Chain A
Amino acid sequence: MADQSAPLLSMQGINKQFLGVPALRQAHFEVTRGEVHALIGQNGAGKSTLIKVLTGVYAKDSGRIEFDGREVAFPSPHAAQLAGLSTIYQEVNLVPFRSMAENVFLNREPKRFGFIDWGRMNREAAAILQRLDIDVDVTRPMYDYSIATQQMTALARALSTEAKLVIMDEPTSALAEQEVQTLFRVIRQLKSEGISVVFVSHRLDELYAVSDRVTVMRDGRTVEECPMSEISRFELVSRMLGRELAAELSHRRGDEDGALADRQPVLEAVDLHRGRALDGVSLSIRPGEIVGLAGLLGSGRSETARAIFGADPHDSGTITVEGTPLHLKSPRDAVEHKIGFASEDRKTDGIIPQLSVRENLTLALLPHLRRHGIVDRKRQAEIVDRFIKAIGIKCSSPDQPIRELSGGNQQKVILARWLCINPKLLILDEPTRGIDVGAKRDIQVLVRQLADEGLAVLLISSELEEIIADANRVVTLRDGRSVAELTGDQITEDALMHAMATGSAADDAGTDAGSPGSTA
């Protein structure tokens, strides 16, 4: 009945707003039968929203979706599943204490006389997994199995519903290397059976390894759609980041006289390893220097920051603070060595929502405000007042709960929390994400000023302009490894994108975008 040559899925002119903020603007997306289609874009580009509109989690505002030859508007994910559209989420949604077979047939258990037909369920589940070349005991509880096997179970569930299209949202983020290979084998198996796969991932190598075509999204729009073989890594990254037009930027790299290079690094990390997240990161930060940490999502930027700060343990590698090798066991150790860390997720890792601006601002300083265990409230008030004025934190009073402040002002409080301990090194993970333009500028100016006064700053940002404008030096990470280092005038958009995409600072074609980066 359905025309076999027509695309399996076609989404055209999709619009979706949340509280007046557009998440999708005239987005389009097309998947043909039996292809593996990569869907990529930065955080907030609209990938997830697009998938959720497709699978009935959200209702679209306007646009047209055709699936398997019919116009559809699924009222719920369940309806989408019944129509042959299965989604496997990042966080595998399985029931850990039930058996593998039960998970495969969840909500669709084969029954006999109203009772679950266990024999048939186990046999059919085993058969489906066999089809995926996976030989396991389907009667054992789910939690017994690795994440990879759990994902295979989710896939088996998709197959048992006769799925025509399987959407995988970052399926490899939790997998070990050989598990990724198993997953790819299964994906190719699906493809050979005529099932289409949409593959969302941030790891370029994986996309190239398994995908036939790619759709790139940015700011809620579809900006590129082409066969994977026809687009280079560099083009892919520049489409994703939207940097075709090279913006001229004022360069204020302060190391013309080489003064910075002579200083002893505040912190030096050598060859940090942690699981699959960090695979050899080396970097050093000197006083008065802003070191940018660049890389695509999942390249290990935040993991590097957390390892340096002692928030996560690392398996191997050394961290040296001012010439002394240290083993920082907890953030508390790092704070004692005057290292501050404003993490990426302000809400979960930064603010204490119901506490006041004053309490939040002085949280890291409290041990030093203590006199016989009692908080010196006078000094606390002085410091809070000074920082509120100096950084321009807008609040009705220091007693206002921080949750009532705007994102930008919350971020300023977090910055002040670290500045008031008089840090030597400040690690800023996406310091300007999700805050308004004015506050963003304030923060950038402030950070520059602090660096000029001698503070060492490690700056993580997904925004290239921010890194280019602010950093004296940029270390680029790729797949958990530091792959290139750019200094001064080498820091250009082209050079950065090359480094992020290919792992080398040099242009593929050999144009002089920057000298080949050292891996330090």
Chain B
Amino acid sequence: MTPEAVGPLVAEPATGTATPVPRGARRVQWTVWAQRYGALATLVVLFVYNAIATPFFLTPQSLLFVLLRQAAPIAIVAVGMAIVIGTAGIDLSVGSVMAIAGQVGATLVLHDQPFLLAIVAALLVSAVCGLFNGTLVARFGVQPIIATLILFIAGRGIAQLITGGKLQTLADPDFQWIGLARPFGVPAQVIVAVVVAVVAWLIMRFTVFGRYVLAVGGNETASRLAGVPAARVKLLAYVTSGVLAGLVGLIAVSANSASDANNVGVGMELDAIAAVAVAGTPLTGGKVTVWGAVVGAVMLKLLQNTLIAHGITKEVAQMVEGAVIIAALWLQRHEA
């Protein structure tokens, strides 16, 4: 296709000066800054504080094997969540999908299937879960929160059915690479998280799909009228979220050397949504910040660890987390 044909149109080119929009003064700019970098700034502050006040914080052991290793699963799920939220949706089913994927993977390994088959099968099942969510949202117009609530509830039941609710313990070195290995002294799941984030960032920034996600989330009607395949875009977003959740489910099972359908991924949807929200991504769609989701995940984890390390009980720590999220939402309020 060549757009050359419109070449000769010349309608008195206007002297192309900027349309100045100096709307809103310093106050608004401050909030814009805080929205964009608030999570990062908080992370830096927490980091510096811990470096000074927490013994052994600045050791590879503490940073890589406690902080980043704990944050990695949340970050991976949050990346998928960020894409779904970008389409003005939400995915509550990620925790249950984790449990299903973990069970599928563990069961196959325990039945002496090759570990690669186990992983591929688990990810395929997760993709089907995402497809289910996406179909409800994109084809049948079900509200995302309701559509994904179905798997949120039913998914855990499915996961338990796979093994009749029994805890499966497993010790397969190949399968457990993803949860326990440390190539170059770095936990494998941290590497996986970085790879996922880089790939997602590239996709969002450079591909047609990435642009479509933003368009559909920003104004679905207008996108449709511009020929954007809105339904397919949303479908793909939910599939992505499902596959990433499945991946994290496998990580959890392999790291624990056990698959527990009751506990894998419980509360993950909220952690992931919180990570996306504190990074200043509006839940109304049209914006995706992959790195924001990663920073948000690490920041929330560090906040939690910091509070607990200083003898603050888990209950109070959760309240502080809530307060941080409220602060992030308050900042978003200004973008209208």
Interface residues of A (CB under 8 A from B): 309, 311, 330-332, 334-336, 341, 343, 348-355, 359, 363-370, 373-375, 377, 383, 386-397, 400, 404-406, 409, 417, 419-422, 442, 445-446, 449-450, 453
Contact = CB atoms under 8 A, between A and B. Distances in A.
Given A367-B208, A390-B6, A332 B229 contact: yes
Nearest to A417: B226
Interface stretch (B135-143, B212-220, B305-313): B212-220
Contacts of A351: 219, 222
Interface stretch (B17-25, B27-35, B94-102): B17-25
15 contacts: A311-B224, A330-B224, A334-B227, A354-B214, A366-B211, A368-B1, A389-B13, A390-B10, A390-B11, A390-B13, A394-B18, A395-B16, A396-B20, A420-B6, A453-B5
A409 to B, nearest CB: 6
Given A355-B215, A366-B208, A449-B11, A331 B227 contact: yes
Contact of A311 (B20, B211, B225): B225
B222 A350 contact: yes
**Residue from A352, A393, A453 whose CB has the most chain B CB atoms within 10 Å:** A352
Contact of B208 (A348, A375, A409, A453): A375
A363 B206 contact: no
Contact of A359 (B5, B209, B214): B214
Interface of B: 1-14, 16-21, 206-209, 211-212, 214-215, 218-219, 221-229, 286-287
A53 B211 CA distance: 44
Nearest to A396: B18
Nearest to B282: A354
A383 B6 CA distance: 11
A334 B228 CA distance: 11
Give the most central of A351, A392, A445: most B CB within 10 Å: A392
Contacts of A311: 224-225
Given A332-B227, A349-B221, A406-B19, A391 B11 contact: yes
A375 B206 contact: yes
Given A335-B226, A422-B3, A422-B6, A348 B286 contact: no
Given A368-B1, A375-B206, 14 more contacts: A311-B225, A332-B227, A335-B227, A348-B222, A352-B222, A355-B215, A377-B206, A383-B3, A392-B11, A392-B12, A404-B21, A409-B19, A419-B6, A422-B5
B194 to A, nearest CB: 21
B211 A359 contact: yes
Contacts of A335: 226-227
Contacts of B228: 332, 363, 366
A375 B211 CA distance: 9
Given A350-B222, A422-B3, A396 B19 contact: yes
Contacts of B11: 390-392, 442, 445-446, 449
A453 B219 contact: no
The B contact surface, by secondary structure, is loop
Contact of A453 (B3, B9, B16, B222): B9
A330 B232 CA distance: 13
B172 to A, nearest CB: 35
Nearest to A367: B208
Nearest to A368: B1
A353 B227 contact: no
Contacts of B227: 331-332, 334-336, 363-364, 367
Contact of A421 (B3, B14, B20): B3
Given A332-B227, A367-B208, A348 B219 contact: yes
B292 to A, nearest CB: 15
Contacts of A387: 6
Nearest to A450: B9
Nearest to A352: B218
Nearest to A420: B3
A446 B219 contact: no
A353 B6 contact: no
A495 B9 CA distance: 33
Nearest to B209: A373
B223 A404 contact: no
Nearest to A397: B18
B219 A353 contact: yes
Nearest to A383: B3
Contacts of A367: 208, 227
A363 B226 contact: yes
A392 B17 CA distance: 10
A353 B286 CA distance: 9
Given A335-B227, A336-B227, A422-B2, A445 B12 contact: yes
A350 B220 CA distance: 10
Contacts of A450: 6, 9
Nearest to A401: B21
B9 A449 contact: yes
A121 to B, nearest CB: 33
A331 B286 CA distance: 21
Contacts of A386: 7
A310 to B, nearest CB: 10
Nearest to B6: A419
A353 B218 contact: yes
A409 B171 CA distance: 64
B214 A355 contact: yes
Contact of B226 (A331, A353, A389, A390): A331
Contact of B287 (A354, A359, A389): A354
A38 B207 CA distance: 55
B9 A373 contact: no
Select the residue from B17, B219, B223, B286 with max chain A CB neighbours within 10 A.
Answer: B219
From B225, B229, B287, residue with most partner A Cβ within 10 Å? B225
B231 to A, nearest CB: 9
A363 B224 contact: no
Nearest to A370: B208
Contacts of B7: 386
B208 A394 contact: no
A396 B5 CA distance: 27
Given A359-B215, A390-B6, A442-B11, A348 B206 contact: no
B121 to A, nearest CB: 26
B286 A394 contact: no
